[in-house]
């Protein structure tokens, strides 16, 4: 992998911390700017070595991290069609040398800097972005939700369409079984799991046509299957014993996956599967949906957002157990916390909000759309929810916007980097260790969702009691950052959750609110690319501690305003949905 790497205009802009327009301007104004060596007319690629030479010659400072060099080294080893295989090979090199991962070149430098597991995660993140149109990767927050609802610590968990291992990684401390068509994805999944210390068996193959785990029953199944795949095996699998609830129609491949998952879980075990919204109401699938309801296998259909998908929760019936009389239906507008809370309430009380009598759904259509709950609400339920939303909106705090004065231009200003602060011992950075995941327990775990909305730790873990050294603890005053770019100063002790980074400052040298504001600003300048930013390269003004505290206080006030605005907007959207629903169904009327 010693060939010269290539970079596009966006990557050059990131190296020098300028906009893409600046790079385009350099190409027009400077005749000696490197010529493209590949790519297309609209997205040319340039030699990384030539670009570095040109930047130095023209006095333009830049920083190339170990991750940048390792990624370019991988890309230079072959064309984009082989990129997945090249990433898988890099992971296997890291895996072969773990825990020390003694590998050479830029990959070895990256491994030495971040450790084998985090080094491979960085490479995977870049691969996922480079092939975002060709890879269908489950959102991290959704994956965590599915794992929390279906899996217990120490369980054997199967994902029959595991892709690059996202769902199995979210399940945390489990024994993982996975199958995926396409060798590169399966190899990447296996390496990610092994580097995080998760026992796993990942097999390349088509689960529906050639089940690699025949005779094996998992404690739980997680699945985000391919949607609308017409060539799923309809002609080859007629009469398959897995079709206990009916032969899936040719145009209903997702119902084949549902039944495969149920056949692969032990009696009483839970299945969490993502489904297209139409699968809950399409007429060809109504017979299977009806049979799932009658058998008590389908427990919930939960809408995760207007654009889908829906989350179906199922349980393989236990012999002799009476089937439930209600199913949980609900639309949650992307509020994943509300999804989990609704499920917990439903498991505790089958008559909770959103519960619908199964007998009311067994009509000609067997329509299980979450919106169906709209027409089956019990008297007064919608009105109570509307009044609650209205009270929440009326009671929303309206903090004052901080007064910021205009200065006489930024001008030259002394600055330092996060790397300098780390080297001086003023800041210490720790990442959540591989395999960290919320599990059943009593200790609080801070999650990426908590950081995004600024709430207390919602995750739970059995660690954090001082007896488990394989955790990173956070305490009041720590700065915590998520891959999405959200940054918060923590006010309560907890365990650091998956994918989070903790910055612990020397309070006599660095103000935590000031550092949080700087980190937040750096990621906001590159929306959608925050996980690509090396935090050590972020620059911040060199201010006295007193000045840092002044600026930090203003940044904190701005964050409070933003949080209040977001909460009011969420309450307003819920009020709009419930109000219109009540007006349409006759539960509410204008005064």
DSSP 378: P
Task: Tell which residue, 117, 65, 69, has the closest CA to residue 91.
Answer: 117
329, 433, 534, 560 from 200: Cα distances, Å: 34, 18, 30, 43
pLDDT value of position 202: 97
- Cβ pair 134, 117 in contact under 8 A: no
Strands 494-496 and 443-446: parallel
Torsion of CA 480, 484, 485, 489, to 10 degrees: -20
For the chain, list the domains and their CATH numbers. Answer: 6-130 (no CATH), 140-378 (3.40.50.150), 415-541 (3.90.220.20)
pLDDT band at residue 392 under the 50/70/90 scheme: confident
| pLDDT tens digits along 21-55 | 889 999 999 999 999 988 888 888 888 889 989 99
Q: Is 395 exposed, middle or buried (0-12, 13-18, 19+ CB in 10 A)?
A: exposed
Q: How far apart are CA 496 and CA 490, in angstroms?
A: 11
Give yes or no for residue 439 having a pLDDT over 70.
no
Looking at the DSSP assignment, which residues form a beta bridge with residue 431? Answer: 501
Q: Roughly how many angstroms between the first and final C-alpha of the chain, as a whole number? A: 73
Q: What is the mean pLDDT of the chain?
A: 86
Q: Which two tokens stand for residue 276?
A: 């297209």
Interval 163-169 mean pLDDT: 95
- Cβ pair 83, 44 in contact under 8 A: no
Q: How far apart are CA 482 and CA 417, in angstroms?
A: 19
pLDDT band at residue 4 under the 50/70/90 scheme: low
| pLDDT tens digits along 358-368 | 999 999 999 99
Interval 339-346 mean pLDDT: 90
Report the 10 Å Cβ neighbour count for 573.
14
What is the Cβ-side half-sphere exposure of residue 471, based on CA atoms within 13 angstroms? 24
Give yes or no for residue 464 having a pLDDT over 50.
no
Instruction: Using alpha carbons only, give the angle 480, 483, 486 rounded to the nearest 5 degrees.
Output: 55
Interval 309-332 mean pLDDT: 93
- Cβ pair 284, 351 in contact under 8 A: no
1, 139, 234, 267, 308 from 227: Cα distances, Å: 37, 16, 15, 26, 12
pLDDT value of position 300: 96
3-state secondary structure (DSSP) of residue 326: strand
pLDDT value of position 78: 77
Q: How far apart are CA 239 and CA 274, in angstroms?
A: 25
| pLDDT tens digits along 507-547 | 999 999 999 999 988 876 554 444 455 677 788 899 999 99
Give yes or no for residue 415 having a pLDDT over 90.
no
Q: Which two tokens stand for residue 529?
A: 């690319």
């Amino acid at each position: 992998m010693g060939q010269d790497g290539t970079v596009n205009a966006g990557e050059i802009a990131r190296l020098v911390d300028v906009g893409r327009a600046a790079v385009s301007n350099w190409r027009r104004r400077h005749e000696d700017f490197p010529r493209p060596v590949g790519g297309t007319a609209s997205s040319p690629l340039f030699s990384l070595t030539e670009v570095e030479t040109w930047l130095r010659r023209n006095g333009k400072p830049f920083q190339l991290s170990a991750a940048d060099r390792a990624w370019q080294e991988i890309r230079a080893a072959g064309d984009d069609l082989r990129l997945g295989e090249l990433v898988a090979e890099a992971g296997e090199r890291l895996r072969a040398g773990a825990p020390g991962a003694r590998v050479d070149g830029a990959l070895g430098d990256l491994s030495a800097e971040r450790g084998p597991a985090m080094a491979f995660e960085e490479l995977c993140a870049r691969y996922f972005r480079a092939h975002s149109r060709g890879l269908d990767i489950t959102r991290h927050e959704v994956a965590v939700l599915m794992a929390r609802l279906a899996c217990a610590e120490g369980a054997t968990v199967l994902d029959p369409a595991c892709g690059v291992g996202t769902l199995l990684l979210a399940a945390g401390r489990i024994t993982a079984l996975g199958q995926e068509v396409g060798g590169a994805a399966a190899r990447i999944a296996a390496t990610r799991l092994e580097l995080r210390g998760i026992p796993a068996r990942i097999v390349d193959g088509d689960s529906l046509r050639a089940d690699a785990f025949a005779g094996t029953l998992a404690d739980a199944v997680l699945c985000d299957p391919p949607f609308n795949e017409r060539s799923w095996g309809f002609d080859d699998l007629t009469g398959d014993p897995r079709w206990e609830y009916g032969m899936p129609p040719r145009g209903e491949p997702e119902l084949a996956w549902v039944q495969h998952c149920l056949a692969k879980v032990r009696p009483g075990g839970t299945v969490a599967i993502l489904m297209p919204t139409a699968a809950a109401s399409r007429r060809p699938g109504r017979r299977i949906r009806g049979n799932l309801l009658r058998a008590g296998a389908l427990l919930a259909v939960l809408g995760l957002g207007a654009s889908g998908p829906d989350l179906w929760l199922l349980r393989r019936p236990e012999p002799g157990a009476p089937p439930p009389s209600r199913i949980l239906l609900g639309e949650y507008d992307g509020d994943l916390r509300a999804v989990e809370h609704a499920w917990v309430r439903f498991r505790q009380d089958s008559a909770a909000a959103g519960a619908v009598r199964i007998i009311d759904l067994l009509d000609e259509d067997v329509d299980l759309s979450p919106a169906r709950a709209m027409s089956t609400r019990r008297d007064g339920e919608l009105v109570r929810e509307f009044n609650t939303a209205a009270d929440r909106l009326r009671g929303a705090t309206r903090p004052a916007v901080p007064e910021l004065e205009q200065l006489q231009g930024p001008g030259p200003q002394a600055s330092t980097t996060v790397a300098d602060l780390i080297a001086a011992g003023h800041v210490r950075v720790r990442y959540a260790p591989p395999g960290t995941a919320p599990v059943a327990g009593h200790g609080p775990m801070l999650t990426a969702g908590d950081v995004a909305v600024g709430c207390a730790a919602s995750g739970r873990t059995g660690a954090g009691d001082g007896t488990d050294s394989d955790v990173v603890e956070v305490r009041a005053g720590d700065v915590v950052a998520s891959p999405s770019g959200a940054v918060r100063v923590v006010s309560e002790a907890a365990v650091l959750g998956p994918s989070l980074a903790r910055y612990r400052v020397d309070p006599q040298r660095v103000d935590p609110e000031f550092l949080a504001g700087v980190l937040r600003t750096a990621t906001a300048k590159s929306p959608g690319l925050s996980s690509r930013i090396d935090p050590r390269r972020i620059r911040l003004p060199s201010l006295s501690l007193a000045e840092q505290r002044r600026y930090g206080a203003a940044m904190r006030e701005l964050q409070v305003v933003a949080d209040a605005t977001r909460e009011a907007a969420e309450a307003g959207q819920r009020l709009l949905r419930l109000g219109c629903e009540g007006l349409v169904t006759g539960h509410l009327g204008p005064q």
